[in-house]
Amino acid sequence: MTEEPFGSLAPGEVVRGREVVGQDLSGLTWEGASLVGCTFEECTFTSCNLSMAKLTDTRFVDCTFVGCKLLAVDWTATGAGSMLAQPLRFERCRLDGTTFAGLDLTGFVFRDCQLTDVDLTEADLRRADLGGSDLSGTRFSESDLREADLRGTRGLALDPRHNRLKGARIDLDATPGLLEVFGLTID
């Protein structure tokens, strides 16, 4: 565990092997930086910019992101098992253009987030909370959304024949995105 505070990083800067536990990280900019083999446990990120950060073999365990900008982040590069120990929580964050394809996001929270053009193909989103989020252009294919909370989402479009939805909570405003594939509209 490091006692040294974690600061902002310049684009292209590489940080290796840092372990940060229980810190409140606020206002940091890591845009375009690389984190390799780092661990963040029980940290809260507030108003940080991690856009286009490379997170190679980096673990985030039981972390919360509030009001952060995380554009075009490839979360699949974090390495197998990196995000699986504890669900992450994203509140009022911008995650446009990110990819979570094939990851286990069971119980994750994406509350009131901007998730446009996000890749969630083959992601396990069981019991995930996407409430109040904008999902415009987000790709769902062979995704597991059983018992997920999709109430209050905007721009939801997915084919119920190619995703698992049993027990998902969806409000009337989200239903047009489920019916488009069948050529149905609600007036």
Per-residue pLDDT tens digits for 49-67: 999 999 998 989 899 999 9
Lowest mean pLDDT among 45-49, 106-110, 181-185: 181-185
CA distances from 88 to 45, 66, 108, 110 (A): 11, 11, 5, 9
187 is a domain residue:
no
Nearest to 58 by CA among 42, 76, 72, 31: 76
Give the residue from 62, 85, 108 where a domain finishes. Answer: 85
Residue 7 falls within a domain, yes or no? no
What confidence score (pLDDT) does residue 153 get?
94
Other CB atoms within 10 Å distance of the CB of residue 67: 14
Does residue 110 have a pLDDT over 50? Answer: yes
* pLDDT value for 2: 44
Is 1 within the bounds of a domain?
no
Range of the domain at 43: 13-85
Query: Which pLDDT score is estimated for 187?
Result: 61
* The predicted structure's pLDDT at residue 1: 43
**Are 20 and 63 contained in the same domain?**
yes
What's the average model confidence in pLDDT over 147-158? 92
Last residue of a domain, one of 24, 54, 85: 85
